[in-house]
Amino acid sequence: MANISIAEIVDVQKLNLFVLLVLFSGLVLLMIRLAEKGRQMFVRPLAGLKALEDAVGRATEMGRAVLYVPGIDDVKNIQTIYSMVILEHVAKIVADYGTPLIVPIGKAFVVPMAEETVRQGYLNAGRPQDFRSDNVRYLSDEQFAFTGAVNGIIMRERPAANVFLGSFYAEALILAETGFMAGSIQVAGTANIHQLPFFVVACDYTLIGEEFYAATAYLAQDPKLLGTIKGIDVFKGLILAVLVIGFVVETLGFTGFSRLIAGE
């Protein structure tokens, strides 16, 4: 049997990517383990989350509902899953205040998940008898049919607070502008960065990009979510440190560092 060199098995030019992947995975697993052991993981409070309770309080004072739209993507989309964590928190708040909650759904398979999430929120508040499954409303799988139906709810029922958290596309500005015209307090957030400018200009508070994911960890206080967020933060810090070191050594004329990073 002929001798096989390591270079024929392993692409050494991509070895740096493998090291980064192992480092990232190790950091995330380490942080999750520390969180499970009780280590306090600080997550910066977000203005949009603080505004949620204020918005519900305003709706209660006005005797009007809170509208929560968990995006328009299906249940397999990660943003929809994360939105359910925040929905449970909102459901608990409205149950405490005795405020109606309307949850329009744009995908049929999201309906049972949303119903159980809202039910759990009311249960956590100790008021399961106040849960109304009719308030979780399936509207349409068609993007703009769903958008038109939500706009109709906003203009007819005049919710005092609108919460748009999830995956949104071209309907983002239409929904937010309708809520603005109706005079509602609006809290929005999405990881679809191409829609963020529309939410920023039309809503009172916006969770920008990764803040949407950090919000779920902040609310749920789940060790896996907290550990993942902190692991990502540490990894970002390491990348910034490498960039600074690379800038300094390249400025001083040492080119070996850049070749090492590039895997040459």
Q: Name which residue leads in pLDDT, 43 or 28.
A: 28
Planar angle of CA 117, 196, 234, nearest 5 degrees:
75
Q: What's the topology of domain 49-220?
A: Rossmann fold (3.40.50)
pTM here is 0.80
Residues 211-250: tens digit of each pLDDT = 887 877 777 777 888 888 888 888 888 889 888 888 888 7
Predicted confidence at residue 171, as pLDDT, reads 92
What residues does each domain of the chain span? Answer: 6-40+224-262, 49-220
Cα-atom radius of gyration of the chain, to the nearest Å? 23
Phi and psi based region of residue 72 (left: phi greater than 0; alpha: psi -120 to 50; beta: remaining): alpha
Residues 73-99: tens digit of each pLDDT = 998 888 998 899 889 989 999 999 889
**Cα separation of the two ends of the chain:** 30
Alpha-carbon gap, residue 163 to 177, rounded angstroms: 13
